[in-house]
């Protein structure tokens, strides 16, 4: 008779091949953080600066009137 066929070796596949597919939020975070990390930091800092400036301009007239009237 004939011999049994020789089995092939199991392929060396990494465990994380389809991990991005199973957890899309982590994949999006990885892509966004690596590419646009500094842009996001700059935009957040600019927004914080604009908010602080807006609060200053909003509250300045009231405090100025209080200071002038001595209240």
pLDDT digits (tens, 9 = 90+) for 38-51: 999 999 999 999 99
Q: State residue 47's pLDDT score.
A: 98
Domain boundaries, the chain: 21-69
How large is the average pLDDT for residues 21-48? 85
**Residue 18 pLDDT greater than 70, yes or no:** no
- The answer for residues whose C-beta is within 8 angstroms of residue 27's C-beta and 6 or more apart is 19, 20, 21
Q: What is the pLDDT of residues 47-64, one digit of tens each?
A: 999 999 999 999 999 888
- The answer for residues whose C-beta is within 8 angstroms of residue 25's C-beta and 6 or more apart is none
What is the percentage of the chain residues whose pLDDT exceeds 90?
31
């Amino acid at each position: 008779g004939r011999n049994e066929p020789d089995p092939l070796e199991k392929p060396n596949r990494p465990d994380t091949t389809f991990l991005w597919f199973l957890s899309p939020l982590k994949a999006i975070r990885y892509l966004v953080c690596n590419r646009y990390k500094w842009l996001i930091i700059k935009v957040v800092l600019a927004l914080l600066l604009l908010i602080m400036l807006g609060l200053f301009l909003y509250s300045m007239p009231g405090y100025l009137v209080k200071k002038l009237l001595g209240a």
